[in-house]
């Protein structure tokens, strides 16, 4: 048995150090409370302008916990533009150009939302966008999943050059692709058609998706497929029953990438689509911008509404985002 004294399992700080820490915190807490009090007083003096109270609370948090204060301030700066869009959409027609910073404007109404649905073809624009985007996302996932599996599992002569070629296509700016895409779509007779825009988006979305899925497939041991084939599965059945379920995080990220890349795209859609009946929502919103005036109320209302499908998609796939973004980045 050792004769050395055992150190206490829960060491206690000396009383002097604890007292010194408390004395250092007290002035910061008092200054933070003073900042909140000043914000409250300014709010009462300015007729309940709540921005002063929020400012006082943020300054107080900065004084008390600087790191937390910075994170809160960054969050406010990130969220504020979206809140301003909603604020502009709620303004009455005679107050659209107001410089007021109130998030809930005086005389707030849903008039702009009603006008967007009744006076414009917003539902048609949204339907065209959803049709194109969901089709591109699904077809892109199917094509990329099978192509990436072939690149991951088979060693054929042109494998490496093809992978490099797919990567090089991502280095071409989107503006340089407009003319070739327009010529191809026009020669196929698919101009002003949803199918033509879908083909244009799929061509640009698949290469990056192939690289994401190929990196993920490389992390799945081939022994799993071999075991499935020993049990009676063929190659296709092993891919569907074993590989695809294990690839759910990566497939989810690819679906999300394809969806976002085509949901708000404007340049290619503007070149391919010319008739108003085939407009997607970016083209429809562009038609609200006139030469001498712009209907900012409808524009802001539409901008707020088109974020809803993206938010729903992010919320439904949130559990896959972190693992899907990092998975396949390194080999095990």
Q: Is residue 91 located within the same domain as residue 231?
A: no
Query: In this predicted structure, what is the pLDDT of residue 23?
Result: 45
- Provide, rounded to the nearest whole percent, the portion of the chain with pLDDT above 70: 83
Query: In this predicted structure, what is the pLDDT of residue 25?
Result: 60
- For the cut 80, the answer to whether the pLDDT of residue 96 exceeds it is no
In degrees and rounded to multiples of 5, residue 72 shows phi and psi of -65, -45
Q: What mean pLDDT is predicted for residues 293-298?
A: 79
pLDDT band at 145 (very low <50, low <70, confident <90, very high): very high
- Token pair in block for residue 40: 């409250």
Q: Is residue 179 located within the same domain as residue 132?
A: yes
Least confident window among 67-76, 147-156, 213-222: 67-76
109, 141, 174: which is the final residue of a domain?
109
Q: Is residue 84 located within the same domain as residue 137?
A: no
* Residue 16 domain-assigned (yes or no): no
Q: Among 297, 294, 293, 289, which residue's Cα sits nearest to residue 107?
A: 297
Q: Is residue 124 located within the same domain as residue 161?
A: yes
pLDDT band at 255 (very low <50, low <70, confident <90, very high): very high
pLDDT in tens, 271-288: 888 888 889 999 998 888
CATH number of the domain within which 148 lies: 1.10.3720.10
Write out the residue range of the structural domain in which residue 34 sits.
Answer: 25-96+105-109
Query: In this predicted structure, what is the pLDDT of residue 143?
Result: 92
* Residue 61 domain-assigned (yes or no): yes
Q: Is residue 44 located within the same domain as residue 138?
A: no
Query: In this predicted structure, what is the pLDDT of residue 95?
Result: 57
- Token pair in block for residue 207: 């290469």
- For the cut 60, the answer to whether the pLDDT of residue 117 exceeds it is yes
* Residue 262 domain-assigned (yes or no): yes
Q: How far apart are CA 88 and CA 108, in angstroms?
A: 9
- For the cut 50, the answer to whether the pLDDT of residue 234 exceeds it is yes
* Residue 294 domain-assigned (yes or no): yes
pLDDT band at 192 (very low <50, low <70, confident <90, very high): confident
Query: In this predicted structure, what is the pLDDT of residue 324?
Result: 52
Q: Is residue 131 located within the same domain as residue 210?
A: yes
Q: What mean pLDDT is predicted for residues 25-43?
A: 79
In a 3-state reduction of DSSP, which class is residue 46?
coil
Domains: count for the chain: 2
Query: In this predicted structure, what is the pLDDT of residue 278?
Result: 87
- For the cut 70, the answer to whether the pLDDT of residue 9 exceeds it is no
Q: Backbone dihedral region of 257: left (phi > 0), alpha (psi from -120 to 50 degrees) or beta?
A: alpha
* Residue 6 domain-assigned (yes or no): no
109, 144, 162: which is the final residue of a domain?
109
């Amino acid at each position: 048995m050792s004769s050395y004294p055992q150190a206490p399992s829960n060491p206690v700080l000396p009383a002097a150090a604890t007292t010194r820490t408390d004395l250092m915190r007290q002035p910061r807490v008092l200054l933070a409370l003073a900042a909140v009090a000043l914000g409250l007083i300014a709010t009462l003096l300015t007729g309940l302008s709540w921005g002063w109270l929020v400012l006082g609370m943020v300054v107080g948090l900065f004084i008390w916990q600087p790191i937390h204060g910075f994170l809160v301030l960054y969050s406010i700066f990130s969220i504020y533009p979206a809140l301003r869009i909603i604020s502009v959409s709620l303004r009455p027609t005679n107050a659209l150009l107001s410089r007021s910073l109130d998030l809930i404007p005086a005389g707030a109404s849903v008039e702009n939302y009603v006008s967007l649905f009744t006076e414009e073809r917003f539902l048609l624009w949204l339907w065209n966008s959803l049709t194109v985007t969901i089709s591109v996302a699904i077809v892109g996932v199917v094509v990329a999943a099978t192509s990436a599996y072939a690149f991951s599992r088979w060693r054929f002569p042109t494998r490496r050059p093809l992978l490099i070629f797919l990567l090089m296509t991502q280095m071409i700016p989107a503006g340089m692709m407009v003319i070739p895409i327009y010529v191809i779509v026009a020669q196929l007779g698919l101009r002003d058609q949803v199918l033509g825009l879908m083909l244009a988006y799929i061509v640009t979305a698949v290469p990056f998706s192939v690289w994401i899925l190929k990196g993920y497939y490389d992390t799945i041991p081939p022994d799993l497929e071999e075991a499935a084939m020993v049990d009676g599965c063929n190659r296709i059945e092993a891919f569907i029953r074993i590989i695809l379920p294990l690839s759910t995080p990566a497939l989810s990220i690819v679906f999300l990438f394809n969806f976002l890349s085509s949901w708000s795209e404007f340049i290619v859609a503007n070149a391919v689509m010319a008739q108003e009946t085939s407009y997607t929502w970016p083209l429809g919103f562009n038609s609200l911008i006139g030469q001498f005036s712009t209907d900012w109320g409808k524009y802001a209302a539409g901008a707020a509404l088109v974020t809803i499908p993206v938010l729903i998609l992010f919320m439904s796939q949130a559990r896959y985002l972190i693992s899907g973004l990092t998975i396949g980045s390194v080999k095990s």
